[in-house]
Amino acid sequence: MHKYNDIDHFITYFALKLHLDLVPLMNSLVQRTVLLILLALVCAGTANAQDNWWKDKKFRTEEKRVKYASCKASFMNIGDGFLYSNVFNITQYFDSEIYLSIMNDDKGYFNEEQSRFILDNFMSNNPVASFRWKNSSVSENYAFAMGRYKFKKNGYINSAAISVSLKYVNGSWLIDQININ
C-alpha cells in the first residue's frame, strides 16, 4: 500500500501538467527525490522564461514604478485569461468601447458586453493548448504586448498571434484593442 503525502501530490500535479506517467517512477524514495528536483528545475526555468517578454526598467519615482508594475500585472492577468480560457480575467480591463479584430471574422468597435461575448465565443471555438506573451512595449500612457495563442482545432494544434493594446486612463490600464490573427 502506497502512502501519499504532500510531496506526492505536488509531483503528481506537475507531472499531469507535463503529461508524464509517474507510476513506474514513484516506487522508491530516491526516484521520487530525483523526480522532485527535476520538476523543480523545469518549473524554475519556465517561470524565468515567462518574464522575458517584459523589460524591467529603473524608474526615477516610486509613482512611475507602481504605474509600470500595474501595467505588467494587467498583462499577466489578461494572459491568464487567454491561458485558462477565462474571459473574466480579460473583461476586468475593458474600457467602455474596445476595438476587436478576431481571426478576420469580428472586426470593429464593440461595447463591453459585445466584446465579452465575442472573446468567449472565440475561446470556446478554439480551445487553448497554450498561451505565452512574446514581447511588449510601454510608454507613458500606452502599452502593447504580443503573444502566441495555440489552440486545438479539428484534431490539430494551430496558432494565432494575439496583440493587446492598453491605455492609461484615470489611474488604470484599460484595453484599447485586441487583435487575434
Residue matched to cell numbers 498571434:
161
Q: Quick one: cell of 94?
A: 475593458
The one-digit pLDDT tens for each residue of the chain (181 residues) are: 444 455 555 555 555 555 555 555 556 666 666 555 655 554 544 444 456 888 887 788 999 999 999 999 999 999 999 999 999 999 999 999 999 999 988 999 999 999 999 999 999 999 999 999 999 999 999 999 999 999 999 999 999 999 999 999 999 999 999 999 9
Residue matched to cell numbers 494572459:
79
Note whether 151 and 130 are within 8 A (CB). Answer: no
89 CB neighbour count, 10 Å cutoff: 17
Note whether 149 and 82 are within 8 A (CB). Answer: yes
Alpha carbons 93 and 39: distance in angstroms, whole number: 34
Alpha carbons 97 and 110: distance in angstroms, whole number: 6
Alpha carbons 21 and 24: distance in angstroms, whole number: 7
Reported as a single tens digit per residue, the pLDDT across 7-52 is 555 555 555 555 555 555 556 666 666 555 655 554 544 444 456 8
Q: Report CA Rg, the chain.
A: 20
- Starting at the edge strand found earlier in the chain, the sheet holding 128-138 runs 106-111, 94-102, 172-180, 156-169, 142-153, 128-138
What pLDDT score does 60 carry?
86
pTM of the model: 0.71
Note whether 147 and 119 are within 8 A (CB). Answer: no
Task: Give Cβ neighbours of residue 96 (< 8 Å, ≥ 6 apart).
Answer: 111, 112
